[in-house]
Structure 1
Amino acid sequence: MKKLLTLLLLSPLAFAEDISEYQRITPKELKIQDNLERTILDYSTSDELGMNQMLAPVGWTEPIVSLEFELRGIVIAGVLGLEFKEETAKFNVNEGFVIPKNTKVRIHNAGNVPLHLVEILRPGYKESLVKEYESFE
């Protein structure tokens, strides 16, 4: 777990803002409607780095997407499913994951309890950086 937290925190430090004193960040709450509604708590303070919590109900899935940003995260509760063209990977509580930039993936709740993730995005999220697809072809 210590290695995972170090991995998540070190690479984003390359994009750290010049901050001279501590900051308290109040997240923006976003409701996103896929097949079911999920909640994103966005703690991002710059375009270079995104920091989110995601809460998704049982049965939630995104469409197939390609992200023009790297996505790293940790599963806090539930089971994360990442479906690729050739395989589906599952990640349990306290396991980390990386989705490389420009990888086609369907992200979903693969468990029977709500899914809770902490995510780091590099660069930060913009709708224009997400492309949706009908299939993996």
Structure 2
Amino acid sequence: MKPKKYTIQDNPFFVPTTDGKTIKEHFGNATNGDSQISIAHMIAPPGWSEPFQTPEFDEYTFIIKGKKQFIIEDEVVTLQAGQSIKIEKNTRVQYSNPFTEACEYLAICLPAFSMDLVHRED
């Protein structure tokens, strides 16, 4: 029997959080041990934010619904549904949803997201 050259992911890893954000990693370190790429489906509730971080990976974000705010170095950028952004590795960034509706989005990290590589500030 010929081996499959594809993988269907219908059982993503639910990343435990304490900030109300839903994270379902479809591919990456937590799901299948892939350290080259991570792909996650996320929902950030209204009022959500993370500390500033300076990751050692490129991060691509595609907004499905709602809006998401980024502070990139010293610039405030807001994306809405249908827009996407690439933030280069070693860039100081803060992600938040200061808006009144939840933000649903996809995040793709190259190499894969890892707590060892994200460098969140206290």
Q: TM-score, normalised by structure 1?
A: 0.77
Q: Give the Cα separation in 2 of the matches to 1:96 and 1:85.
A: 18
> Could you tell me which amino acid in structure 2 is paired with residue 37 of structure 1?
G
* Aligned twin of 2:12: 27
Report the counterpart of residue 92 of structure 2 in structure 1. Answer: 104
Q: Which residue in 2 is equivalent to 1:117?
A: 105
Alpha-carbon separation, structure 2, partners of 1:85 and 1:48:
25
Q: Which residue of 2 aligns with 1:11?
A: none
Question: Match for residue 69 of structure 1?
Answer: 57
1:39 and 2:22 correspond: yes
Cα deviation code 1:10-29 (max 9, x no counterpart) = xxxxxxxxx84332212001
Instruction: Name the residue aligned to 2:43.
Output: 55
**Structure 2 gap ranges (5+):** none
Moved more, 46-55 or 21-30: 21-30
Shift, 1:86, TM fit: 2.2
Q: Which runs of 5+ in 1 are unaligned?
A: 1-18
Which amino acid in structure 2 is aligned with residue 59 of structure 1? G
Look up the equivalent residue of 2:107 and give its one-letter code. Answer: E
Identity of aligned residues (%): 23
Aligned equivalent of 1:83, options 71, 80, 92: 71
Runs of 4+ in 1 over 6 A off after TM superposition: none
Does the CA-based 8 Å contact 1:67-1:101 persist in structure 2? Answer: yes
**Which of the two has greater helix per residue?**
1
